[in-house]
Chains A and B, each alone.
Chain A
Amino acid sequence: MAKRPMLEIAALEKRFGDNTILKQIDLKVAEGELVFVIGPSGSGKSTMLRCCNRLEQPTSGDIIVDGRNIMAGTSRDLAQMRLQIGMVFQGFHLYPHMNVLKNVTLAQRKALKRSKAEADVRAMDMLERVGLAHKADAYPSELSGGQQQRVAIARALALDPKIMLFDEPTSALDPELVGSVLKVMKDLKSKGMTMLVVSHEMGFARETADRVVFMDGGVIVEEGTPDEIFGAPKAERTRAFLSRVAG
């Protein structure tokens, strides 16, 4: 199924001074595809993800989301384009001074200009989807980490993004809470969401990813299906990493 690319990263470079974090990254994520990025810490995988909505400013290269280059245009264009790129952070980053419903409606109201009624309905739908409709009035501090992360997913989904970026979404969670977040992600995938995920959840990658990308030292070392990468990695660096993680 050759689908159109929803996200296209082309010749992406990121340097801090003399320090090159990302070198000539090329990556395409097709519509409905779940691409999983793995690699040791410091490999540049999070930086690459954060370049996709320009939270990190790329030094050069192109980021094309559904045919539009987010490297071009004004800051207003950028804000508009970010609406189409949902992002989920390791640290959740819910707004602590707002209840769950407000967290999920804020950008709908202010960035998408939806009416309050419309935003509320959409928010409740999304909270339902992540299993937290009953927590709409709660404040983030009253929720577990897993619940907070699911609210953060609902907050991003409520804007009807074309792609979702996940930056180590379960790394800050207690082990027993990881499952609830992964379940929501799996459900998203089954409903056709395009997803780019940076994570260490290898089991989840094996099970749900369409493709796995291994990064090290700021470059993509190899990519392939989960079976290829986990079963028969070609590069020595990939093998070394996987044996360390598995061990």
Chain B
Amino acid sequence: MDILIDQFFNVAIMQKAFPLLLKGLWMTLQLCVAVILLGLVGGLFVALGNLSPRRWLRWPTIVYIDVFRALPPLVLLIFIYSGLPFAGINVSPFTAVVIAFLLNNSSYYAEVYRAGLISVAKGQWEAAASTGLSRSQSLVYVVLPQAVRNVLPDLLSNTVEVVKLTSLASVISLSELLYSADMARSVTYNASPLVLAALFYLVLLWPLVRLVSHFQRRLAA
């Protein structure tokens, strides 16, 4: 029992590792903000293209959504970070992670938006148009707020997945939370920093997961 506590819940080691993990957490948060914000915006445009009556807009987005949902994000990440240099394209680890996860994540967000947009009755578009609003005004003021409200739990679930996804960045030595914890583990030869990192993720994500359940229940009611 003591060995268990010493190896996994060693407070002294956790304290020592704490500053390093905090730095890692900061990096994780920066990644999340970049990937989530870009993904939310990018996903919306992909969804709009996907719903467009214009073929030349619709086809590329269908391919985009299919390809980037099918490709494992880790494969994308390693390709961008380690593969592209063979073509003379070098990107920083941070940029590689943002691009790889943005491609993955915007295609998922796009599917969520798409479901939301088609859930809004056609009459809403027509009412807005009949009062002289342009297509984009109708979208922004009338349709999108309702669409987002209808799929809020899915948007949030997807966001939870994105946060978890950022831990993959550790494989290209980006010193985010997991990488920092693993560094601390190898230096201290003790698993407690990993447990601490897990706690950090839990504290970060648990409220989000609760929120998803809350919205799901409210929408079901």
By a beta-carbon cutoff of 8 Å, the part of chain A in contact with chain B is 53, 55, 75-76, 79-80, 82-83, 85-87, 89, 91, 93-97, 106-107, 110-112, 152, 155-156, 159
Contacts and interface: CB of A to CB of B under 8 A. Distances in A.
- Which interface class (under 10, 10 to 19, 20 to 34, 35 or more) fits B? 10 to 19
Contacts of B128: 95, 107
Nearest to B122: A93
A110 B133 contact: yes
A85 B132 CA distance: 9
Given A96-B146, A111-B133, 16 more contacts: A75-B134, A75-B135, A82-B130, A86-B130, A89-B126, A91-B123, A95-B127, A95-B142, A97-B145, A97-B149, A106-B141, A106-B142, A107-B131, A110-B133, A112-B132, A159-B131
A82 B129 contact: yes
Interface on chain B toward A: helix, strand, loop, or mixed SS? helix
B119 interface: no
Interface in B136-193: 137, 141-142, 145-146, 149
Given A91-B123, A93-B121, A110-B141, A82 B134 contact: no
B123 A89 contact: yes
Nearest to B137: A110
Interface of B: 121, 123-124, 126-135, 137, 141-142, 145-146, 149
Question: Which of A110, A155, A156 has the most chain B CB atoms inside 10 A of its CB?
Answer: A110
A87 B134 CA distance: 16
A156 B131 contact: yes
Return the 4 tightest CB-CB contacts between A and B, nearest first: A107-B131, A93-B127, A83-B132, A111-B132
A79 B134 contact: yes
B132 A107 contact: yes
B134 A55 contact: no
Given A93-B126, A110-B141, A159 B146 contact: no
Given A82-B129, A93-B127, A106-B141, A76 B146 contact: no
A184 to B, nearest CB: 18
A223 B59 CA distance: 48
A55 B130 CA distance: 8
B144 to A, nearest CB: 10
Nearest to A76: B134
A111 B131 contact: yes
